Amino acid sequence: MRILTVNVNTTQSMTDSIAEAARAVVEPGAEIVGLTPRFGAPSCEGNMESYLAAVGVMDAVLAYDQPFDAVIQAGFGEHGREGLQELLEQPVVDITEAAASMATFVGRTYSVVTTLDRTVPLIEDRLRLAGLMERCASVRASNTSVLDLERDEGAAIRSIVDEAQRAVAEDRAEVIVLGCSGMAALEAAVRERCGVPVVDGVAAAVTVAQSLVRLGLTTSKSRTYAKPLPKELKGFPFSR
């Protein structure tokens, strides 16, 4: 089994961290391949960057020339999963939806702790579209940028833990979802200090993806995710 973990930004070190987090939970014998878009922003923290990332992710996957069994879109609240599903028969798993779904198995309500406040509406919209917003107690911003997660991990942990503790105490959240693929390494620290289950999106998505592959499930092509109509797209994919 080969699973592609596609970073939504162009920071290679973050791609490496995402792949490392995926390898920590993937089943023995399965292969994780980390992909970085050729173009886009070094971090995705808004609608413009998110839409650009959607095209970059599709381009990166189409440029990959080896067989694969599933794709993980490793951006929390980002656009583009539906486009990938039209292009591919292999399962496509978005870390936002995977993490929130997983949280509902271990608690009645969950809260997402993310990076900057401007990303909160994007996450809320993605959860609402997936039908997962009803059990979301809150989406809280730690005011830590995506790149801050690598530059100053100590400060990032403190701010994320603070918001997670407020989510449990004030919003009555029973599970914490880490709202950024770059937060994967913080799971143990948040769980230890908050005393509730903590779900990392990358780990959740890998678990879902390999289960779909084992069950022989592929993306339905009957309607919503039918293959794109045959057209000559000028310049796309850019990697040709």
DSSP conformation letters of 34-97? EE--SSS-SS--SHHHHHHHHHHHHHHHHH--S--SEEEEE-TT-S-HHHHHHH-SS-EEEHHH
Domains of the chain: 2-94+203-214 (3.40.50.12500), 96-201 (3.40.50.12500)
Give residue 42's identity as a one-letter amino acid code: P
Q: Is 15 left (phi over 0), alpha (psi -120 to 50) or beta?
A: alpha
Query: pLDDT tens per residue, the chain (240 residues)?
Result: 999 999 999 999 999 999 999 999 999 999 999 999 999 999 999 999 999 999 999 999 999 999 999 999 999 999 999 999 999 999 999 999 999 999 999 999 999 999 899 999 999 999 999 999 999 999 999 988 777 776 666 777 888 899 999 999 999 999 999 988 777 677 888 888 889 999 999 999 999 999 999 999 999 999 999 999 998 888 887 765
- The residue whose two tokens read 């909160």 is 120
Whether this prediction's pTM lies above 0.85 is answered by yes
